[in-house]
């Protein structure tokens, strides 16, 4: 359920002032989704179908601006993203910063894959991987505040995650694990930086009119090692179907022409991110990580999934996390 209530009158007033060319009649305002960091509303502005992406958590303005600027730059480079109409950072208007963008008519790629005959699924996965390989092949420099200062070491995303965990006073959760992964990072071969989506999966791609892909949800985008992105995608797909994840990894190597050297390290970082984001949300509230307030109640029902992820992480790194294990024991 949405954490915030959007007023059609307030939205109409905003559109009247900022989007006069589109008219001012707001109709069919409906909450259509709530992810980990945003709430999604659909509405019609006169006869134009639009999406409202609302950011209710901590650091919401920065996330909204990041997503807006990332989509804008991607559009300029010809990458398939939604058309933007507005960015609003004033949280007082609708309860949080927000984006307005076109509403894509068509199914999610994940739904299309699930409904497709077996002989068509391979083609859908090829298209899925082609979008990811194409993203990583783009010039990453327009997306970096200071391209000359972008590190190329494998520990970049790990260091940011560790800084976040320490910044909210949760170093007790996983310091031995971060120390282990930092040592491992020093041995990892360097790749060219890339713009990474960091939540690239089949349900973050819409098929315009059932055919043309449009990639959505760029609130986590950053410049990093592309294996960071691929490892996160593989982890998400594994929770759906391990064989599907393995197929995507093989297809990525085929299309990119690059062997996934040291990929076990990036898998461990992805698992660390997933486990800690859920555990910290449950213990301290999802808002502590800038995610949607109230999400922790949903996550408490996923302890079996967390237990599975933690077992994978412990097997991959050999590092036990007593605080996490205590939480999992309480959830039995």
Residue-wise pLDDT tens digits, 42-69 = 999 998 999 999 988 768 899 999 999 9
Residue with tokens 């950053």: 222
Helices (H), the chain: 8-18, 60-76, 109-115, 118-137, 156-167, 175-185, 226-238, 242-256, 263-284, 295-299, 303-317, 322-330
Whether residue 281 has pLDDT greater than 70 = yes
Per-residue model confidence (pLDDT) at position 201: 96
The tokens describing 168, both together, are: 């909210």
- For residue 50, what are the β-bridge partners? 43, 102
Is residue 223 helix, strand or coil? Answer: strand
Question: For the chain, how far is it from start to end, CA to CA, in angstroms?
Answer: 26
Whether residue 2 has pLDDT greater than 70 = no
pLDDT above 90 as % of the chain: 67
Helices (H) and strands (E) in the chain, counts: 12, 9
Q: What is the DSSP string of 112-135?
A: HHHHS-HHHHHHHHHHHHHHHHHH
Cα–Cα distance for residue pair 157/122, rounded to 1 Å: 31
- For 23: left if phi > 0, alpha if psi spans -120 to 50, otherwise beta; the answer is left
- For residue 41, what are the β-bridge partners? 31, 52
- What ranges do the domains of the chain cover? 8-102, 109-330
Whether residue 134 has pLDDT greater than 60 = yes
Lowest mean pLDDT among 9-13, 105-109, 304-308, 315-319: 304-308
Per-residue model confidence (pLDDT) at position 61: 92
Q: In whole numbers, what is the pLDDT of the chain averaged over residues? A: 89
Angle at 182 between CA 176 and CA 185, to 5 degrees: 145
What's the pLDDT band for 197 if we cut at 50, 70, 90? very high
User: Under a CB-based contact definition with an 8 Å cutoff, are residues 97 and 89 in contact?
Assistant: yes
- Among candidates 200, 195, 193, 199, which has minimal Cα distance to 222? 195
Q: How much is the average pLDDT of 127-148?
A: 93
Pick the CATH number of 109-330 from 3.40.640.10, 3.65.10.10, 3.90.420.10, 3.90.1200.10: 3.90.1200.10
More confident residue, 316 or 291: 316
User: Under a CB-based contact definition with an 8 Å cutoff, are residues 135 and 79 in contact?
Assistant: yes
User: Under a CB-based contact definition with an 8 Å cutoff, are residues 32 and 50 in contact?
Assistant: no
Secondary structure E strands in 74-193: 84-88, 98-102
What are phi and psi for residue 299, nearest 5 degrees? -70, -30
Burial of 67 (0-12, 13-18, 19+ CB in 10 A): buried
What's the pLDDT band for 33 if we cut at 50, 70, 90? confident
Whether residue 294 has pLDDT greater than 70 = no
pLDDT digits (tens, 9 = 90+) for 198-217: 999 999 999 999 999 999 99
Angle at 6 between CA 86 and CA 299, to 5 degrees: 100
pTM listed for this prediction: 0.91
Per-residue model confidence (pLDDT) at position 4: 55
Per-residue model confidence (pLDDT) at position 30: 93
The correct answer on CATH 3.30.70.270 for the domain covering 8-102 is no
């Amino acid at each position: 359920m949405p954490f915030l209530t959007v007023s059609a009158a307030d939205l109409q007033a905003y559109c009247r002032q900022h989007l006069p060319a589109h008219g001012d009649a707001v109709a069919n305002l409906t909450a259509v989704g709530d992810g980990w960091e945003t709430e999604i509303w659909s509405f019609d502005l006169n006869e134009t179908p639009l999406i409202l992406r609302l950011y209710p958590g901590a650091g919401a303005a920065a996330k909204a601006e990041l997503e807006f600027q990332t989509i804008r730059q991607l559009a300029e480079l010809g990458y398939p993203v939604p058309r933007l109409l507005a960015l609003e950072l004033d949280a007082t208007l609708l309860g949080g910063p927000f984006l307005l963008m076109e509403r894509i008519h068509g199914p999610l790629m994940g739904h299309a894959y699930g409904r497709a005959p077996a002989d068509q699924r391979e083609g859908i996965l090829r298209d899925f991987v082609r979008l990811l390989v194409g993203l990583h092949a783009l010039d990453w420099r327009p997306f970096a505040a200071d391209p000359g200062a972008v590190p190329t070491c494998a520990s970049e995303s790990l260091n940011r995650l560790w800084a976040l965990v320490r910044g909210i006073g949760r170093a007790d959760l996983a310091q031995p694990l971060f120390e282990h992964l930092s040592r491992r990072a020093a041995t990892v071969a360097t790749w060219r930086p890339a713009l990474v989506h960091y939540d690239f999966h089949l349900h973050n791609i819409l098929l315009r009119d059932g055919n043309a892909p449009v990639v959505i949800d760029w609130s986590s985008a950053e410049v990093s090692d592309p294996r960071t992105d691929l490892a996160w995608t593989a982890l998400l797909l594994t929770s759906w179907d391990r064989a599907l994840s393995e197929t995507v990894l093989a297809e990525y190597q085929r299309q990119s022409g690059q062997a996934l050297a040291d990929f076990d390290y990036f898998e461990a970082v992805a698992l660390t991110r997933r486990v800690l984001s859920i555990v910290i949300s449950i213990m301290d509230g999802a808002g502590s990580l800038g995610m949607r307030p109230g999400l922790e109640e949903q996550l408490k029902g996923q302890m079996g999934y967390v237990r599975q992820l933690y077992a994978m992480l412990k097997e991959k790194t050999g590092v036990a996390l007593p605080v996490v294990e205590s939480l999992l024991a309480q959830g039995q």
